[in-house]
Amino acid sequence: MARRALVTGGAGFIGSHVVDALLADGFDVELLDDLSSGRRENIPDGTTLHELDVASPEAARVIRDGAFDVICHLAAQIDVRKSVLDPMRDATINILGTINIAEAVKSSGRATRVVMASTGGALYGDFVTPPNDEEFPKDPESPYGIAKLSAEYYLAYYGRLHGVESAVVRFANVYGPRQDPHGEAGVVAIFCNRILGDESMTVFGDGLQTRDYVFVKDVARATVAAATRPLPPPARLDARAFNIGTGVETTVLELADALQDAAGRQVGITHAPARPGEQARSAVLIDKAREVLGWSPVASLHDGLAETYAWFAARRATTAAGGPV
């Protein structure tokens, strides 16, 4: 009998790639997504969609009754700026949604492993010098980072007191096909659309702020590894947390140059005023993921950007020809 998996946020950017990776690994896959940001076009044939809010009683019922071996929890409010404007909504989705899942798994009585997507950028803040390992002090500077850290604490609690098996994958800055060009996390998507429109790319401040850019298909492989590999005992918060990135800092200016090279087109850069509170540097160490999960990124920045740009170019061409957006 095939293993069963549920992916919350499975119609979204990262979640849909996790669905693809689980299917390739032989899982029967169901999706739970309210489609507030996920897209029906990302849902592959042969999967079941539960169009539900992750914090709802109906979502809990799906989990309790679904006999899932694995739940990959990617449903989230991911925009730092939106979390600042509306911390209540951010906490409802990112904290209460996670508690809803953990409570449902506890009630089901099944040995279901929960793998939660967290953040490797917003979690550590600017008070430590990157690259950060999992044990670094955590001092998030946004409601989003605080909510993700709180959700990690809750999963650690459910593991110690209720035997709910879980792992946390702390993503660096993920990019790739299907990325939403709207919102803070979509800088590569935004730049792709600017290049395709023959418009200059807007860089805030001096462009020397750094991020750790990791390709979405590598992230999906890491999530499946966390769902299937043996895990260390749930002794403390960071025991089952894994940074997922490349360990390489890339400035926004370097990213813009690399993407133009991958696209084979030059559109230039326009500078805008720096955004207050923006993190200056971010990168994560990935030694633990290599050792415990047997995972390493395989896509170079150039190859990942080239594949991403090609996807956006094909999507724009389809839209121009009257096909679905």
The C-alpha atoms of residue 270 and residue 123 are separated, in whole angstroms, by 30
Q: DSSP alpha helices (H): ranges in the chain?
A: 13-24, 57-65, 80-85, 87-91, 97-108, 143-162, 187-196, 216-228, 252-263, 287-288, 301-320
**What is the band of 324 on the pLDDT scale with cuts at 50, 70, 90?**
low
| Active-site annotation, residues | 144
Give me 79's structure tokens: 């925009």
CA count, 13 A, side-chain hemisphere, 149: 19
DSSP 10: T
Q: What is the spatial distance between Cα 301 and Cα 298, in angstroms, rounded to a whole number?
A: 10
Q: What was the pLDDT predicted at 180? A: 84
What three-state secondary structure class fits 119?
Answer: strand
* CA distance from start to end of the chain: 37
pTM of model > 0.75 = yes
Compute the C-alpha angle 85/89/91, nearest 5°. Answer: 105
Ranked by mean pLDDT, the top range of 40-54, 128-142, 181-195, 266-280 is 40-54
Residue-averaged pLDDT of the chain: 93
Place of tokens 């926004």: 252
Asked if residues 103 and 144 have their Cβ atoms less than 8 Å apart, the reply is no
Q: Average pLDDT in the 225-231 region? A: 96
**Degrees to nearest 5, angle at CA 55 with 52 and 56:** 55
Cis status, amide bond into 230, omega within 30 of 0: no
Q: How far apart are CA 325 and CA 312, in angstroms?
A: 11
| Torsion of Cα atoms, 77 then 78 then 84 then 88, to 10° | 20
Instruction: List, for residues 10-50, the tens digit of each pLDDT value.
Output: 999 999 999 999 999 999 999 999 999 999 999 999 999 99
Among 34, 35, 20, 101, which Cα is nearest to 68's? Answer: 101
pLDDT at 80 over 60: yes
pLDDT single digits (tens) 273-303? 998 767 888 899 999 999 999 999 999 999 9
**108-128: average pLDDT:** 89
Long-range CB pairs of 85-90 (<8 Å, 24+ gap) are: 87/143, 90/143, 90/144, 90/147
